[in-house]
Structure 1
């Protein structure tokens, strides 16, 4: 997508207690895009999101959000952004309608009842509007939280792990709603750990220990990784996995049901090690497409931990 930039940050940096948790990040998000913001826990995703929407002041760097300076115009940004946190933050002892009415008061929306009614209808909450929020399932709480974020009709949605702890059907329905909203011009920056959700984004940005280490569409990120994958089927999968551990060209070995996925950057060495491991067995190996999860595991392993350690090493 080539729309106008809604988020444009340059060199954004934040330190806590002398430790750099966001290290000179550059990022652009265009109008109407869904950009996935991915990375391991503690990588700086939430801190970056909070700086973008004006909740935290950066120690270095600059940027604009919705045309406003993130340093000097934070209050204006907050009025036009919907920010959904991972933790449900509405009042559990109020009904759905009472929660939305409270949010409408905060934004001074008028006529308030009309805004609430339209939002209830849009998110399919009308029939449950008098139900206490505390009695809702995870999926319905998520739907209510999204309703509270979009009721003031923001231009930008910032979603921080929005589907954590909800079932697959609720996650799918949530993402269908997000795509409907972006089709109407809303822009979304969403952090997630789920690979299927990352694949539903227009672009992804992967951050590890405060630094961006990959960005682009999913096919671009996979292609840029330089990884090759073989799938081993049949035979003694556990025994083959043990033989492959530490073999030349083998970076990752992971079981998927009855199959074994073997991943590495040197296709020749990888194939040689796989062939040697399955020699004399009933197993067979075929090249396959590298998954986004394989790429992310490699990115994690390659990234230096900003606590002073290294990545986790090869995943076996």
Structure 2
């Protein structure tokens, strides 16, 4: 077992950040912690990386106890926080050399681990880190987290604020790292990234809602979902929410995801209702449930 979390709770004054959290991550697994801002993801990461003490419960990382073996954990994990935290006045190369030195290693010794990532930022190796683009900062931070060849890699919302192309590239890099046997715990508020993990834990208000593979989690959605569109999105959402048979109504890109309470639901009935609301260009079609749909259902 690479990570084991048992009944972890943590409070800050009158705010409970984590409530009896338990889960396990297997060696070599890419495990996702999925939830919105304020769900408790960062607090949990700080406990597992020995930066915070839990109020109760136990945790082990790489078979080391999070309290008694904190020095061993720090030598065996890599941590990439959500906010860029490298030295902005140092160059790319200087940052990497600095972190390698801290862990008693060199860039050359573990270069094979970061090579695929570093070659993308090597042309800017003499540029100060603070002058890099968001995507380049992200790659540099990942290199620095990997330079000592950690057994477990913690990535706390690593793609927040990064453009879609860089996000896609980053997850491709994580998949390649996984083939090298590194266990990864990734937190993200982006539901679409959940599908890229081996298993995920959905977290809300400091509580785990569900743990399973992305494929199994979406199967738990209890209703058929329909994509609904019309000429006026705002009016469409309000009309659907006021429809007496609605089970759930959520905006989803250019559509509204709609589920009906009735088992014998006929889309024609809904279309007639929406036409009476003066909506036009109405389109209704079945669609597959997503992680986001299931999360909203579990969070009710």
Same-fold status (TM-score > 0.5): yes
Moved more, 5-14 or 140-149: 5-14
Q: Displacement of 1:78 after TM fit?
A: 0.9
TM-score (norm 2): 0.89
2:52 counterpart residue number:
56
1:244 counterpart residue number:
240
User: Is residue 114 of structure 1 aligned with residue 108 of structure 2?
Assistant: yes
Moved more, 266-275 or 48-57: 266-275
**From 92, 95, 110, the counterpart of 1:96:** 92
Cα deviation per residue 1:257-276 (whole Å; 9 max; x = unaligned)? 2x432135654468587355
Is this contact kept in 2: 1:249–1:265, CA < 8 A? yes
Is this contact kept in 1: 2:195–2:214, CA < 8 A? yes
The 3 A distance-change label for structure 1 pair 231 and 137 is same
**From 253, 266, 273, the counterpart of 1:256:** 253
1:33 counterpart residue number:
29
The 3 A distance-change label for structure 1 pair 9 and 275 is same
Cα deviation per residue 1:44-80 (whole Å; 9 max; x = unaligned)? 1111111112211111111211111112111111111
Q: Displacement of 1:90 after TM fit?
A: 0.8
- Kindly report which structure 2 residues correspond to 1:1-316, keeping only aligned pairs within 5 A, or say none: 5-109=1-105, 112-115=106-109, 121-123=115-117, 124=119, 125-233=121-229, 239-247=235-243, 248-254=245-251, 256-257=253-254, 259-263=255-259, 267-268=263-264, 274-278=270-274, 283-300=282-299, 302=300
Query: Partners of 1:179 and 1:117 in 2: how far apart?
Result: 18
Cα deviation per residue 1:275-303 (whole Å; 9 max; x = unaligned)? 55246676342222122222223334x2x
Query: Partners of 1:14 and 1:239 in 2: how far apart?
Result: 42
Cα deviation per residue 1:195-235 (whole Å; 9 max; x = unaligned)? 22111111110111111011211121111232421123456
- Poorly superposed stretches of 4+, deviation over 6 Å: none
Query: Partners of 1:21 and 1:239 in 2: how far apart?
Result: 37
SS at 1:93's partner residue? coil
Moved more, 122-131 or 79-88: 122-131
Q: Displacement of 1:149 after TM fit?
A: 0.2
Query: Partners of 2:157 and 2:239 in 1: how far apart?
Result: 38
The 3 A distance-change label for structure 1 pair 21 and 253 is closer
The 3 A distance-change label for structure 1 pair 264 and 216 is farther
SS at 1:250's partner residue? strand
SS at 2:297's partner residue? helix
CA RMSD after TM alignment = 2.4
Q: Displacement of 1:187 after TM fit?
A: 0.8
Query: Partners of 2:68 and 2:22 in 1: how far apart?
Result: 19
Is this contact kept in 1: 2:34–2:191, CA < 8 A? no
TM-score (norm 1): 0.85
The 3 A distance-change label for structure 1 pair 232 and 148 is same
The 3 A distance-change label for structure 1 pair 290 and 165 is same
